[in-house]
Amino acid sequence: MTARITENGAVRRAVVTALSGLALTVATAIAGLIAARIYIGWHMAVLVVGAAFGSVLLTGLFRWLRAATPLAIVGSLTGLAAGLTGAVAALRDPETGPVGTVLRDALINSGAHLMTSAVPTEVTPATVVLPVAVTWLTGAVTVALIHRPLAALCPPVVLLAVALVFVGPNAEPAYGLIVGFVVAVGVHLAVTRDTTGPFTVAPALSSLSLPVAPGIGAQGRGEGIRRGIAAAVALAVLAMSVMIGGPAAVELYRRQPFDPRTLFVPPEQHYDALNPLGMLALWATETTTPLLEVTTDRPVRLAWVAMGRFDGITWLPDDQFRAAGTVLPTVEPEPSDSRQVTQQITIRGLPGPWLPAAAIPRQVRGVRVAFDVATGMLATPDGLHDGLTYTVISEVPVRDAAYAVGAAVPFGDEFAIYTQAPELPPELVTLAVQAAGTGTPYQKARRLEQFLREQYTFSPQAPSGHGYANLLHFLTTPQGEGGGRGTSEQFAAAFALLGRALGLPTRVVVGFHAGTEYEPGRYLVTSGDAFAWAEVYLVGQGWIPFDPTPLPDGEAPPPEEDTPEAEEQMQDDPDQLEPPPPDPEDPHQQALTDDGDNGALSPQQIAGLSATLLLVICVLLIPGLRLMRIRRHLSQGNAATRVIAAWREIGYALRLAGRRPAPTLTVQELVTFAAEAGRGGAALPDLTPLAVHVNAVTFAEEAVVSEEDAQRVVANARGYIAALRRQQRLLRRWWWWFDPRPLFWR
């Protein structure tokens, strides 16, 4: 019989360990999958799941072979090394060198690549080594701690927190994965919970047929009823939290979480060594130099480089480029309507590092790229060379002027660079106010565009220059004296500066018209197609292009502008455009029409306060229930019942202190164990008086415990529990009353 019991216990422990290990492995894999969401494709998800299961299996094998914990973890690192080597061999570019060299460089530079790369991140050796290694180590440490259920949860939980911070605002909320993680943790806690009962007074106590103190059976039934009530209350609180706190959670999500990548500056590019804006004067006179060949089914203009920094002398390109993969990060805001354009572009003599692309590029193939999320511009770290061919898939927004006319200008430090105009001459401010008049930002920009088109003349012979001196001459000097004439360089720069004088966030973009079709679907872009335009950023609309450069006499609009939406935009009278009625669902229009705080709380504020109140209630609920439970057990019932309750609370306290005794100990052995439970051998109150009365109540046929004895026993137990808690470390001492487990212990 004893052998069978022992065998059943071993089987039970093996099953519990297997289920617990599987649950923890799933939790680790889910934490890795949360981080893998910002990678391109499915390969990273396979790698982190493989790392989670591989580390658990290999470390578990070493532990099964009775290897020491440190040796098991070190041994599992051999599997990690093999896995990383295989992944690097599969992902590396053969031209980058042997596998060992690529792996070493990836191990050294993986963190820097992850923090300075654009999102979504391409799956390369340098971007997968660190996440796979961290997931593997998490699984290995989890297995090493598997016989300490709460400690084993720490590695997956830490990995989950790191993954959430790592992803930041670059992916949608992972509600499904989080639920899966919670379920896995719940399974682990369920299978590892104490099923042998509470801190018992003897191994055979549950099998004794001796009468137990009166009231214990009733107390057990009452305890079940109370637990049922507590469960119902918990479910009610959870339902209220979802209903009332839901809007607050949505509002909180709208405030994007912190992105740790903002703390890391990409490697300096030095892209301002070449100024594309200054090249327009030369290209305006030499119009036949081939620059690009474009194969596409829809001709559209190409943006080459955006320039938002102005120092009073020249416009400088934006250069916050991050390494990107084939799928490019999303540029905010997303256009409400757009047309997809696919272009195969071949470089023919175009200088610089920037890659021309249409409007909002989404995917790039055939070239190593870097991407500036703020500007939407592309560059290649390898530089352009004749014959370089790449394919880019872009979205061309289709804008409705009726919505743009009511949009506001943005506020925030990230847009400060687009409104700066150091020492702006007062003549330009006066001219801007006279030309733009009054109205919404979009109306002012349209009037400014129309003013430059009608009052000034395009001249390919105009001298280059776009500083204050050049623009003052261009804008204020009569044409008879050499002013009033310029290329798109002067027109775009003048619009951008006059817009900044009005408080509009502006930038200058150099790009190309669609070119001349020499075969069906194939266009040659020459230097004569190069031009500059200005763009204004409006809330909810993004960067809106404006073309202040007038067309030469007799020249037709370029093919990409000869579209119904372009013609409609050019023919609209900005003075007749009225702002649309405010949309109550649009927070940006609400900001425009808000006439002040009337003292009432908004629905979001009410929801936020309600959620905060519920959170406080939930935090205080567990300590309150714990204290009420202890008080009820130690003060209600007859003297014998309170003695047993005091002894049970001692058992709970030892378990909270991480000093759980074996169930086979006798009462006297338990007293000795409890006396030695203090940290560093510190003295604790003697529990012998309590043990004597417990033995009397449990084993004596006619035990009599007086009220005075019960009070002394309860005081003895309270003193011991308080002394034991004071000796715990700060974190355990703080968590003592917030730990919900004693509410479910029996």
In the predicted structure, residue 22 carries a pLDDT above the cut 70: yes
Mean pLDDT of 391-415: 87
Taking the C-alpha atoms of residue 91 and residue 87, their distance in angstroms, rounded to an integer, is: 6
Q: Is the distance from CB of 210 to CB of 698 less than 8 angstroms?
A: yes
Which of the pair, 284 or 28, is modelled with greater confidence?
28
Structure confidence at residue 265 as a pLDDT band (50, 70, 90): low
In the predicted structure, residue 17 carries a pLDDT above the cut 90: no
In the predicted structure, residue 172 carries a pLDDT above the cut 90: no
Q: Is the distance from CB of 338 to CB of 362 less than 8 angstroms?
A: no
C-beta atoms surrounding 89 within 10 Å? 13
Question: pLDDT exceeding 70 applies to what percent of the chain?
Answer: 78
Structure confidence at residue 193 as a pLDDT band (50, 70, 90): low
The listed range with the strongest mean pLDDT (42-46, 101-105, 223-227, 245-249) is 42-46
- Write down the pLDDT at residue 203: 35
Lowest mean pLDDT among 102-106, 135-139, 219-223, 462-466: 219-223
- Write down the pLDDT at residue 489: 92
Picking from 338, 314, 395, 403, the residue whose alpha carbon sits closest to that of residue 362 is 395
In the predicted structure, residue 611 carries a pLDDT above the cut 60: no
322 torsion bin: left (phi>0), alpha (psi -120 to 50), beta (else)? beta
In the predicted structure, residue 577 carries a pLDDT above the cut 60: no
Taking the C-alpha atoms of residue 127 and residue 48, their distance in angstroms, rounded to an integer, is: 12
Mean pLDDT of 262-282: 70
Lowest mean pLDDT among 306-320, 636-650, 691-705: 691-705
> What is the DSSP track for 395-449?
EEE---HHHHTTPPPP-SGGGGGGT--TT--HHHHHHHHHHH-SS-HHHHHHHHH
In the predicted structure, residue 602 carries a pLDDT above the cut 80: no
**Six-digit token pair at 328?**
């490019």
In the predicted structure, residue 493 carries a pLDDT above the cut 50: yes
pLDDT digit string, tens, across residues 294-324: 999 889 999 999 999 898 888 888 777 888 8
Which burial class, exposed, middle or buried, applies to 460 when counting CB atoms under 10 A from its CB (0-12, 13-18, 19+)? middle
| pTM summary value | 0.59
Q: Alpha-carbon torsion 546, 552, 556, 559, what sign?
A: negative
Q: Where are the domains of the chain?
A: 2-193, 200-215+638-746, 217-261+604-629, 284-399+409-419+506-555
- What are the E-state strand segments in 256-299? 290-296
Structure confidence at residue 529 as a pLDDT band (50, 70, 90): very high
How are beta strands 389-397 and 302-310 bridged, if at all?
A: unpaired
C-beta atoms surrounding 22 within 10 Å? 16
Lowest mean pLDDT among 70-74, 367-371, 372-376, 571-575: 571-575
- Write down the pLDDT at residue 305: 92
In the predicted structure, residue 328 carries a pLDDT above the cut 70: yes
Mean pLDDT of 618-638: 76
Structure confidence at residue 701 as a pLDDT band (50, 70, 90): low
pLDDT digit string, tens, across residues 666-689: 777 878 888 877 776 677 888 888
